[in-house]
């Protein structure tokens, strides 16, 4: 009863906040809360044939606060529907929030495994975190386990920073990875269980050397095309040239894993996305055998102008992960995203141009596909600008000689920290697939070889998309764009 009335209060708060919300930057085809704050995606699962996504949510304010779990579902990963809030912090063991976690289907029972958070001393960053369970048979209403927390204390290799359980099934057992730290060493630790309630600690799966940060958040561990991948979000890595330029990172280790010995032999850390806003990624395996990832499309402590509008935070598009030839992760939009396409504009095929070419469009929800034939391109660089009035623009620029792709959002709301860059080795074709929403841009390069994800906050009307070359001509194989559907209207 207590839980139901708390959920009711939160839902009422959201209804009130919705009425006051300013819609200028509301996204058209991304997961957001009805109003107020969200951060990490949680509990990604396909349950009874539908995709469910939960998210860290503060329904009472546009700023982070005591965490609840918000909830959406979809039949196709494109059209999402809000469901009632799934978890509110009601118990002592979670008095300062129901933190991130995951979901499994336990013989038809939708089971959420999450972190109960207690702040012991916020100023000194001392927390007491434990792992908890809540179950549902209708996929909407959840009951917390009487025996919570199911793991009440961290092992000696960790500390009170002990959070973000990701659970999966392998053979006879459930397995769980958790993020933790000991001193200034971030780690991922592993547990196993027969019944999701009694957990046996198996040890450290991977940990930071001097360079990989003091805390590892939001781990996810899975098999991908014959290799094992550990994705996590380390805090405390230093920037290195074009790499690790955000406050915190998300990336992965890849290698071989042995369930018998709990040995994970892996290569070095690789950043997963090169834009400003990509964090706390989680994945699910669906019934088509696809490994699908969704991230939080923001970054802690960055400028978030939508707070003034009564909401804050969004999730990225769902992306399919596959393994590339060089044993690296390729991320591509799931194929269902073509359902968003409404009106197709074929701008040009097989055409050379130099200088600038403006396509006038006021649309703010766009997918575009742009392919350059670099073997027939003499220019030093090629790119595109999404234009707005008063010189507002978001620029994507590819420098052919040094093979660098730059996303510049300096003039679309990011200011001084507006530039992100990454190396993209393209010798023949440069292919860009770009999703533009009212306050975001997601760039997929060469079939997922690189991605750049950033929030942008253009103040005024859009004026079009400008193709440009610098010092020479370029050959366009195909330039097509689609007006996309607004799923929330
Ligand atoms: C990651 C994170 C998680 C934590 C949650 C709290 O962004 O810090 O480690 O569970 O957010 O909202």
Give per-residue pLDDT as tens, 394-452.
999 999 999 999 999 999 999 999 999 999 998 899 999 999 999 999 999 999 999 99
Domain boundaries in the chain?
A: 38-332, 337-484
- For ligand 1, atom 9, name the residue with the nearest CA: 217
Tokens found for residue 412: 């679309």
Domain covering 337-484, topology: Jelly Rolls (2.60.120)
Q: How far, CA to CA in Å, does 119 sit from each of 43, 127, 162, 166, 373? A: 23, 5, 12, 22, 55
Ligand 1 atom closest to residue 64's alpha carbon, by position in its atom list: 12
Rg (CA), the chain: 22
Nearest residue to 251 via CA among 292, 216, 290: 216
CA atoms in the 13 A half-sphere facing the CB of 110:
21
- Whole-number Å distance, alpha carbon 98 to ligand 1 midpoint, is 10
Give the 3-state secondary structure of residue 293.
strand
> How many helices, marked H, and strands, marked E, lie in the chain?
1, 32
| Catalytic residue IDs | 40
Q: Establish whether residue 299 lines the binding site of ligand 1, counting it when its CB lies within 6 angstroms of any ligand atom.
A: no
Task: Look at the chain and count its residues.
Answer: 489
CATH class of 38-332: mainly beta
Handedness of CA 150, 152, 157, 163 (dihedral sign): positive
- DSSP state at residue 394: E
Query: Which residues have a Cβ under 8 Å from the Cβ of 446 and sit 6 or more positions away?
Result: 424, 426, 429, 430, 431
Whether 1 has a pLDDT exceeding 60, the answer reads no
Q: In this predicted complex, what is the ipTM? A: 0.99
Task: Compute, in angstroms, the gap from residue 134 CA to the centroid of ligand 1.
Answer: 18
pLDDT surpassing 90 at residue 68: yes
Probe target for ligand 1 pocket from 36, 55, 56, 186, with the most ligand atoms within 8 Å of CB: 56
| Residue in 221, 225, 219, 218 with CA at minimum distance from that of residue 290 | 225
395 lines ligand 1 (CB under 6 A): no
pLDDT of residue 370: 98
Helix (H) or strand (E) holding 62: none
Alpha-carbon gap, residue 444 to 331, rounded angstroms:
8
Per-residue pLDDT of 299-349, as tens digits, reads 999 999 999 999 999 999 999 999 999 999 999 999 999 999 999 999 999
Q: Which residues contact 64 (CB under 8 A, 6 or more apart)?
A: 37, 39, 58
pLDDT digits (tens, 9 = 90+) for 353-381: 999 999 999 999 999 999 999 999 999 99
Q: What are the beta bridge partners of residue 327?
A: none
210: pLDDT confidence band, cut at 50, 70 and 90? confident
Q: Would you give the end-to-end CA distance of the chain in angstroms?
A: 34
Q: How far is the CA of 90 from the centre of ligand 1 (A)?
A: 18
> What is the DSSP track for 198-249?
S-EEEEEEEE--TTS-SEEEEEEEEEETTEEEEEEEEESPPPBTTBS-SSB-
- The response to whether residue 57 sits with its C-beta less than 6 Å from ligand 1 reads no
What's the pLDDT band for 460 if we cut at 50, 70, 90? confident
Ligand 1 atom with the smallest distance to the CA of 100 is 10
The pLDDT mean for the chain works out to 97
Please indicate whether residue 68, judged by its CB atom, sits closer than 6 Å to ligand 1: no
**Could you tell me the two tokens for 56?**
């860290």
> Ligand 1 centroid to 168 CA: how many Å?
20
């Amino acid at each position: 009863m207590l839980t139901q009335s708390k959920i009711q209060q939160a839902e009422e708060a959201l209804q009130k906040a919705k009425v006051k919300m300013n819609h200028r930057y509301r996204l058209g085809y991304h997961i957001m809360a009805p109003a107020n704050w969200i951060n990490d995606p949680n509990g990604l699962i396909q349950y009874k044939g539908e995709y469910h996504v939960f998210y860290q949510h503060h329904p009472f304010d546009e700023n982070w606060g005591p965490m609840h779990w918000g909830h959406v579902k979809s039949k196709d990963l494109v059209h999402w529907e809000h469901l009632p809030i799934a978890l509110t912090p009601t118990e002592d063991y979670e008095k300062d929030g129901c933190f991130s976690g995951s979901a499994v289907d336990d013989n038809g029972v939708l089971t959420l495994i999450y972190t109960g958070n207690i702040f012991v001393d916020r100023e000194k960053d001392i927390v007491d975190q434990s792992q908890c369970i809540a179950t549902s048979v209708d996929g909407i209403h959840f009951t917390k386990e009487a025996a919570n927390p199911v793991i009440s204390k961290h092992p000696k290799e960790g500390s009170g920073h002990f959070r973000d359980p990701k659970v999966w099934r392998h053979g006879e057992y459930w397995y769980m990875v958790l993020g933790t730290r000991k001193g200034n060493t971030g780690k991922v630790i592993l547990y196993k269980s027969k019944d999701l309630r009694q957990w046996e600690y198996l040890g450290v799966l991977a940990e930071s050397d001097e360079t990989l940060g003091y805390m590892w958040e939001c781990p996810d561990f899975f098999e991908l095309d014959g290799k094992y991948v550990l994705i996590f979000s380390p805090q405390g890595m230093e920037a290195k040239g074009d790499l690790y330029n955000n406050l915190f990172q998300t990336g992965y280790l890849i290698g071989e894993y042995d369930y018998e010995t709990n040995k994970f032999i892996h290569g070095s850390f690789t950043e997963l996305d090169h834009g400003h806003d990509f964090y706390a990624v989680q994945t699910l395996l669906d019934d088509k055998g696809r490994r699908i990832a969704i991230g939080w499309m923001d970054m802690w402590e960055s400028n978030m102008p939508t707070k003034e509008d009564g909401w804050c935070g969004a999730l990225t598009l769902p992306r399919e992960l596959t393994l590339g030839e060089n044993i690296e992760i390729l991320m591509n939009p799931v194929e269902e995203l073509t359902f968003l396409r409404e009106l197709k504009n074929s701008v040009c095929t097989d055409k050379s141009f130099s200088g600038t070419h403006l396509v006038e469009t006021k649309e703010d929800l766009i997918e575009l596909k742009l392919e350059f034939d670099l073997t027939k391109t003499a220019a030093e660089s090629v790119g595109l600008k999404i234009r707005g009035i008063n010189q507002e623009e978001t620029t994507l620029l590819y420098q052919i000689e040094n093979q660098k792709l730059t996303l510049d959002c300096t003039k679309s709301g990011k200011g001084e920290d507006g530039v992100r860059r990454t190396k993209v080795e393209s010798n023949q074709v440069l292919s860009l697939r770009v999703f533009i929403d009212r306050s975001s841009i997601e760039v997929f390069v060469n079939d997922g070889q690189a991605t750049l994800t950033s929030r942008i906050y253009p103040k005024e009307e859009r004026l079009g998309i400008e193709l440009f070359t610098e010092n020479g001509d370029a050959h366009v194989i195909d330039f097509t764009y689609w007006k996309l559907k607004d799923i929330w209207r």
